[in-house]
Structure 1
């Protein structure tokens, strides 16, 4: 039952009222004393009844309608701007508009830097929807420290509309960089996060800006790509970064998985022809041809009029290319 509905059940109209069943109030000293005792007993009984009713409110927290303009995003806000411009957000916004407001309250704390304003703990999408619709937002107000705010915000997002991997990673990285938690392990313990999943999220957040910019949106990055991209960067950072810059500069309409393939396997933004052929002639009349099949990823070398004694030379040359 809502708090305001519980409150409506309490009847305070008869507090202190004297019973008329006793007839006229006695004017004698003994009568006045008796009336006083009766009145005290009645008030005590009413207090006991009220105390029982109010026990229903134990632990309850009041909500209130607030102007969304006085509520500011937290410094730990973890929603990327693109999260407010997709179909899911538009659906939520339509639902709130139809209901005349958010049924599920957001949570805020009093601002520590600006009097009369509040800082969002969770409910960023509901708050943004009410702000854009010009509706008051139903909010629960509770003061708390930064670490508690961070953990509540993270749990709420995981239970409702989970953050995308890159959003999650940047949020965790910011918490560690600003010293909110002394280590990744302490962060995982406080927020009840799987440590290996936290590691993948942080790896995505630590990717160079050029790598992130190569994708259509940072929200497209996936947890399972973290190890692949990190290993590729460790092996040859200049090559991977150059590929990323080329992809971004070409502005090709590539899907996220296509970008990943180009970053890891190369080929630029234009795929090579499926079959390439190179023919050549030797100084003593020999001839040869090299065929490269990009679809099968195979190379076929055909040589004619080659002295068998030179086989070792060709073997050594080919091995040198592969080793």
Structure 2
């Protein structure tokens, strides 16, 4: 099944009698902001549509994933939305507080830690262009459970708005497949997040054929994913984070290294070091891999620059490192300047945002 077919299948619903063909969707607009009809509903009044047939023929995906998908993704999302509307699928507005997470976590870190700054800005300026997918909660009356769109949900909630959503009556299996296919289409997850997602689905008792469809992969690659997830303790994976630049080969290397107990102890020591959590995820992975391999830690590159005022004694040292940027004021030279800058942070940030 092609990428386009999988996206179309997620949004499709049966027509009356399932005999009449759907009218073709109107042509997709040129990256314009689609004004989608929405209906505010109460959870108890939603008519549950028949669950879609998500289990179609699978398309194997190799370990090397294609890049440069953004423009194609925009076009596919637009077409999918138009087809959904043409099929009679209604977009509703829901209170974000009534929506729980998926039955299986697919990202490292908590939902609260998802980076949504740029997404919030986009939604604030253009509105929520792509609905999330939810199902009526199987155990909490009046609540919903999300299949995909966690970042959109968090961003909309942070803006104090209601979230646009498609509501489908999905089985656990359908929900997982929809969640996985969406992530695959967006290429949202890092290698280790895909590996953990696969292992967690299997741990819940789902057949590997379901996992292959959810991750758009084949038996060989799925075996490698699950092997890596089981080969590296989840505590270590959580400490490292998604590490988007670390691909399959380096994760396999790490899993083989820590089979040795001495290497595993070196890794535990590296994770416990001060400052480990403050560096970015890819650098944490490198530190862990070096520790597991017995390599000495690389000296960190630090850049320092001194600023001196042209109008007074104030000075400051700006230090840049992998941990971030630190500005150290000389309080002896001008005791009140540091406090003044600290009090102006809101104004400084506002001025910065206006220039973007």
Same fold (TM over 0.5): yes
Q: Find the counterpart in structure 2 of residue 93 from structure 1.
A: 120
- Secondary structure of 2:258's counterpart equals helix
For the residues of structure 1 that align with 2:242 and 2:85, how far apart are their CA atoms? 45
For the residues of structure 2 that align with 1:190 and 1:198, how far apart are their CA atoms? 11
Aligned residue pair count: 213
For the residues of structure 2 that align with 1:161 and 1:83, how far apart are their CA atoms? 18
Contact 2:132 2:166 (C-alpha < 8 Å) held by counterparts:
yes
The reply to whether residue 159 of structure 1 matches residue 188 of structure 2 is no
For the residues of structure 1 that align with 2:235 and 2:102, how far apart are their CA atoms? 27
Once the two structures are TM-superposed, the CA of residue 58 in structure 1 deviates from its matched residue by 6.5
Structure 2 counterpart of 1:199, from 201, 205, 223: 223
The reply to whether residue 122 of structure 1 matches residue 145 of structure 2 is no
* CA distance 1:83–1:75, shift in 2 (3 Å): closer
* Per-residue Cα deviation, 1:253-287 (whole angstroms, up to 9, x for no partner): 572324312211344x588xxxxxxxxxxxxxxxx
Once the two structures are TM-superposed, the CA of residue 137 in structure 1 deviates from its matched residue by 0.5
Q: Find the counterpart in structure 2 of residue 257 from structure 1.
A: 286
The reply to whether residue 75 of structure 1 matches residue 99 of structure 2 is no
* CA distance 1:227–1:172, shift in 2 (3 Å): same
Structure 2 counterpart of 1:105, from 128, 131, 152: 131
Q: Find the counterpart in structure 2 of residue 228 from structure 1.
A: 253
Q: Find the counterpart in structure 1 of residue 233 from structure 2.
A: 208
**RMSD between superposed Cα atoms in Å:** 2.9
Q: Find the counterpart in structure 2 of residue 133 from structure 1.
A: 159
Once the two structures are TM-superposed, the CA of residue 128 in structure 1 deviates from its matched residue by 0.8
Q: Which one has the largest radius of gyration?
A: 1
Q: Find the counterpart in structure 2 of residue 240 from structure 1.
A: 263
TM norm structure 1: 0.58
Once the two structures are TM-superposed, the CA of residue 242 in structure 1 deviates from its matched residue by 1.1
Unaligned runs of 5+ in 1: 6-55, 272-323
The reply to whether residue 171 of structure 1 matches residue 197 of structure 2 is yes
* Structure with the largest fraction of helix: 1
Contact 2:98 2:143 (C-alpha < 8 Å) held by counterparts:
yes
Contact 1:214 1:245 (C-alpha < 8 Å) held by counterparts:
no
For the residues of structure 2 that align with 1:79 and 1:211, how far apart are their CA atoms? 15
Q: Find the counterpart in structure 2 of residue 44 from structure 1.
A: none
**Structure ranking higher on relative contact order (CA contacts 8 Å, 6+ apart):** 2
For the residues of structure 2 that align with 1:113 and 1:76, how far apart are their CA atoms? 15
Q: Find the counterpart in structure 2 of residue 62 from structure 1.
A: 90
The reply to whether residue 147 of structure 1 matches residue 173 of structure 2 is yes
Unaligned runs of 5+ in 2: 1-25, 27-34, 39-83, 300-356
Contact 1:108 1:141 (C-alpha < 8 Å) held by counterparts:
yes
The reply to whether residue 188 of structure 1 matches residue 219 of structure 2 is no
